Structure 1
Amino acid sequence: MAVQRPNIVYLMFDQAKASAMSFMGNTEIEMPYCDHLAASGWVFDQAYAAAPICTPSRASVHTGMFPQVHGATCHQNRVAYNLPQLAELLQDAGYYTAALGHYEPERNLSRGWHEQAPMHERGPLFDSWIAHIKSGRKDVAWSSGAIDCEAKDGNSALLTDRALRMLDQAEATGRPFFLHLAYDDPHPPYFVPHPYDTMYDPDSLTLPEAGDSADLPAWQAKARADVGTELGSEADFRKVLAVYYGMIRYIDDEMARLHKALSEKGLLENTWIILGSDHGDYTGEKGLFNKSESLYGCLLHVPMVIVPPAGAKEPGPRRIEDLVSTVDLFPTILDMAGITAPRNQGHSLLPWVRDGHEAPLRDAVFAQVGDYHGFIGTSWPSGMPKSGRHPSLTHAIRTKTRSYINDPDNGDEAYDLAADPKELRCLTNDGQPDLSAEFAALQDQLAAFVQECADLKEDLGVVDGDRGFVKGWE
């Protein structure tokens, strides 16, 4: 008898950074469901996104390519039409595919889905999303509070309701299925339905370090002005953190509802579950909020958990401290389905974990963002500061102990992560000692990676998607 191919469920936060996760060591937030997943599966402690903002990050997951190759380097660009996408490959192999929420269909990530429920189409999901993104002040990035509705009527709960119906449909097809549930929380503005807005006491939370402006890159002074940092008080910033944690807990509870349905249907025996986030958030780090086209740890370090099917003979729960990238999810998910991946820039994590992951897959991870030439400026309450956008493509390389950022617009940056893990002391600032030979080697490695991306794009004949916008959304 043929072995039944497994189902795959991919759960995604939007803008949840690794340091905000309880299973990553944050003792100030409670996440019962995600903690359960972490205790049941493989936790990748050093997972990094390929980009610090939504469109390029998600495109990298769905193509297995870095932004320079797939072309969606910022919110302005759409994904290249002639790169195979994850859902297409799964659909072609006989999977039933369904996606809902914030998965960027309007950026040409709509291909390969049998069923779709994007929250940007008219209807209850759209109405609840609009109620969220219109919350808050339009002059600062740090306003926070409550959305005037019950949790069951908030966007994340409505997404889960829709996912449960999709699950019924997927089960009815009799096919193995791939379900991608892309929540919008905790994407700013920092607003959430009751009771999650008051679930955490602001006065009990540890504020992130803002750093000394003299030690930070000069461009960040303008970014802090755009964000309105000087207009906020410590109480304002504490409230941001409390609501951000509340938004994450809201998602945790909603994910648990879907998991319960999987259990009640007996599907966990043959279902892989992946937990992730597209990128992180400042939430006060460096005195900033929301995000920017910048390549820092708080924006790139993301949660990643993979839970094998309960009935599969896979390695048991473990924590893996080696560097991995979100581009690795593309070949990994295809590997779960028994599909040979087309040429890509990721590594399947399955054979590596099965073999004991003794040797690191990567000695460094890379990220890219920018090449923005649009008209959107500072866009609160849900966007980013104008000063945080980059006309040029920006590249970064990170090891466990060093970070180097090639920024043609504002000047390169370098950080000693062993001594300065929050990247609050830029080593390329005036008055700093000359960079070490180790940083010179990183510069060379980054330059080689950029050239590899250019060569791969040319070799594959990638045609960039067009540039355009969805009004009111970025």
Structure 2
Amino acid sequence: MRNEKRPNIIIFNPDQMRADALAHLGNPASSTPFLDEFSSTDAVSFRNAYCQNPVCVPSRCSFFTGLYPHVSGHRTMQYLLHEEDSTLFSELKEAGYYVWMNDRNDLLAGQASGLEHLHSDEIFFATGQSEGAGPVNKDFRGKPGDKNYYSHYEGRLETDKDGRYISDDDLSVNAAIERLKNPVDDRPICMFLGLMYPHTPYGVEEPYFSMIDSHKLPPRASKGKGKALMQERLRGLMGMQDYTEEDYDQIRTCYLGMCRKVDDQFRRLCEALKEIGEYDNSAIFFFSDHGDYTGDYDLVEKAQNTFEDCLTRVPFLIKPPKGFKTDPGITDSFAELVDFYATAMDFAGVVPGRDQFGKSLAQVLADRNAVIRTEVFCEGGRMPYEYQCDEYHAASGLNGEIPEGSMYWPRQTAQKDDQAHAKGTMIRMGDYKYVHRFGGKHEFYDLNKDPQEEINRYEDPDYQDIIVQMRLRMLDWYQETCDVVPRSYDRRMSAEAMWKRFKKKCPPEAEESIKAMIQEGAGPAKIQAALTKWESIHT
């Protein structure tokens, strides 16, 4: 039985957080005490939740609409949602929710004036307002050619005299708590907190910088055999060949320290909900848009068309609102981030105004052994002719070479290689993962024998039957999800053409009523039936 008052929808969305950053999902070096407690007492944590694209914009355009990136072409960093696109936000706003968000959304086309107001009632702008002084080591990159130049590693950040580092994320969390404590009106709130952390650059202040014990870090994934060409290109361009295991440990502990800060920020938000008596009546979602290499395969940051778990498997925790049955703990049931959209709409009691591909996870939240998906998908990369996927040129309008001083020069340069950046699609079924690429190298991994996806077994004769099965399932999935038919139906004839069709048959006395029927959208059969009835009455 649901509450009479619609539940609040609270969305806490860190950026670039991999699933194994959570201690309760098995990383002995991680420190996420609040999320661990949250998952054991109030929420369900999905061990096998996957994003639908391994970079920010396409992933967000997907999970806020319930559509896969390929459906409408929202699969690049430079093609965001436009006026004709509805989202969870616009639909909940129309249904009577007060929609609050901060400016870190990577979702709506910036050039469309006023677009954000169709999807929100209030936006908090934190960008550029932080009070942090930056890294302690001001020359953290060194000179071009140094091993840290493209490492994204800043290290320890400076704090003020009170031991604080106030980031844009901190300001956004503060603003969100302030709005919860001082609501504008009595509408239920849909709150979206999109954080920057633990997105690169890798940098965090004390005490988080020193919280992680490097001796507890699990082994990194090696460069492996038969891996994607994109990884080879990135390693060559990043120039981190001289990195030692100790160097990688610094990045990894710093990253986990950033995740610990996210844990504290999430705790503060939940405590605020409890303080104002709205925790029970809130559906709370914690998930990331994608993951991060963080040293795996001798790489940092991310790539748009590789699909290892470190990039595609994300934290996904859900606390239902009061009135929904909950079986707290970890579930092994598969989930996709498109399911967030369907689940949030389910909790809100709002029916989507269009078709979508997410599935409500309420059944799994009530019983962690329930299964609603037997496979998950992710996609990325581009076709050879798709120049717009070169995000640097698309964003800046430049036609020349990408400046080597840009921190993203390695990735943006690698993406100019048509073969390295080939469009790819991943399917995971059970313990198997298959990646199909257009014009690139296919991949297949047995995750039971090779959990870190180091050995590409695509050519192994022992796996050919399962590879064929997974390829056919991928084809079925593409056919099932390749487009969305609008729910509004179009006329096949204009009003003028319709009138010309029936003008000769229409007695003068019936012209006014028939023209009115045409303007209202009546079809030929209905108009013919009206004329026949008129004739039977008047003859």
Alignment of 1:396 onto 2:426 = yes
Deviates more, 1:438-447 or 1:137-146: 137-146
Question: CA offsets per residue over residues 234-279 of structure 1, 9 Å max, x none?
Answer: 2210000010011001111111111121111111121111111111
- TM alignment of 1:107-256, pairs within 5 A: 107=109, 110=116, 111-120=118-127, 123-125=128-130, 136-137=140-141, 139-149=149-159, 150-169=163-182, 171-212=183-224, 214-256=225-267
8 A contact 1:70–1:79 mirrored in 2: no
Task: Name the counterpart of 2:106.
Answer: 104
Question: CA offsets per residue over residues 310-355 of structure 1, 9 Å max, x none?
Answer: x43522313321111000011110111110123101101114544x
C-alpha distance 206-63 of structure 1, shift in aligned 2 (>3 A): same
Give the Cα–Cα distance (whole angstroms) in 2 for the partners of residues 32 and 357 of structure 1. 21
Deviates more, 1:331-340 or 1:155-164: 155-164
TM-superposed CA distance for 1:118, in Å, is: 4.4
TM-superposed CA distance for 1:131, in Å, is: 8.2
Task: Name the counterpart of 1:421.
Answer: 451
8 A contact 2:53–2:379 mirrored in 1: yes
Question: CA offsets per residue over residues 369-408 of structure 1, 9 Å max, x none?
Answer: 2235325368854686236536543211111211111222
- TM alignment of 1:21-36, pairs within 5 A: 21-36=22-37
Give the Cα–Cα distance (whole angstroms) in 1 for the partners of residues 193 and 285 of structure 2. 10
TM-superposed CA distance for 1:457, in Å, is: 7.0
Give the Cα–Cα distance (whole angstroms) in 2 for the partners of residues 112 and 3 of structure 1. 25
C-alpha distance 216-272 of structure 1, shift in aligned 2 (>3 A): same
TM-superposed CA distance for 1:359, in Å, is: 5.0
8 A contact 1:101–1:183 mirrored in 2: no
Task: Name the counterpart of 1:471.
Answer: none
Give the Cα–Cα distance (whole angstroms) in 1 for the partners of residues 269 and 368 of structure 2. 31
Question: CA offsets per residue over residues 53-92 of structure 1, 9 Å max, x none?
Answer: 1111111111100100142212122225423200000000
Give the Cα–Cα distance (whole angstroms) in 2 for the partners of residues 130 and 338 of structure 1. 44
Give the Cα–Cα distance (whole angstroms) in 1 for the partners of residues 312 and 428 of structure 2. 10
C-alpha distance 353-235 of structure 1, shift in aligned 2 (>3 A): closer
Give the Cα–Cα distance (whole angstroms) in 2 for the partners of residues 459 and 129 of structure 1. 52
Give the Cα–Cα distance (whole angstroms) in 2 for the partners of residues 194 and 113 of structure 1. 35
| Local SS of the residue matching 1:415 | strand
Task: Name the counterpart of 2:315.
Answer: 303
Number of paired residues?
451
In structure 1, stretches of 5+ residues that fail to align are 462-474
Give the Cα–Cα distance (whole angstroms) in 2 for the partners of residues 398 and 168 of structure 1. 43
Deviates more, 1:182-191 or 1:356-365: 356-365
8 A contact 2:81–2:107 mirrored in 1: no
TM-superposed CA distance for 1:104, in Å, is: 1.3
| Local SS of the residue matching 1:414 | strand
Question: CA offsets per residue over residues 15-54 of structure 1, 9 Å max, x none?
Answer: 1111111121222122121112111211211111111111
Task: Name the counterpart of 2:323.
Answer: 312
Deviates more, 1:173-182 or 1:367-376: 367-376
8 A contact 2:77–2:389 mirrored in 1: no
Task: Name the counterpart of 2:94.
Answer: 92
| Local SS of the residue matching 1:438 | helix
1:291 to 297, 302, 325: 302
TM-superposed CA distance for 1:181, in Å, is: 0.8
Alignment of 1:451 onto 2:479 = yes
Give the Cα–Cα distance (whole angstroms) in 2 for the partners of residues 379 and 443 of structure 1. 41
| Local SS of the residue matching 2:31 | coil
C-alpha distance 79-302 of structure 1, shift in aligned 2 (>3 A): same
Question: CA offsets per residue over residues 170-192 of structure 1, 9 Å max, x none?
Answer: x3411111111111100011111
Q: Which amino acid aligns with 2:39?
A: A
8 A contact 1:135–1:189 mirrored in 2: no
Give the Cα–Cα distance (whole angstroms) in 1 for the partners of residues 279 and 89 of structure 2. 21
Question: CA offsets per residue over residues 384-439 of structure 1, 9 Å max, x none?
Answer: 6236536543211111211111222432211112211211111236xx44742111
Name the larger-Rg structure: 2
C-alpha distance 262-385 of structure 1, shift in aligned 2 (>3 A): same
In structure 2, stretches of 5+ residues that fail to align are 383-387, 393-401, 490-539
Alignment of 1:442 onto 2:470 = yes
Q: TM-score w.r.t. structure 2 length? A: 0.77
Give the Cα–Cα distance (whole angstroms) in 2 for the partners of residues 269 and 230 of structure 1. 51
Give the Cα–Cα distance (whole angstroms) in 2 for the partners of residues 226 and 191 of structure 1. 22
Alignment of 1:47 onto 2:49 = yes
8 A contact 2:3–2:323 mirrored in 1: no
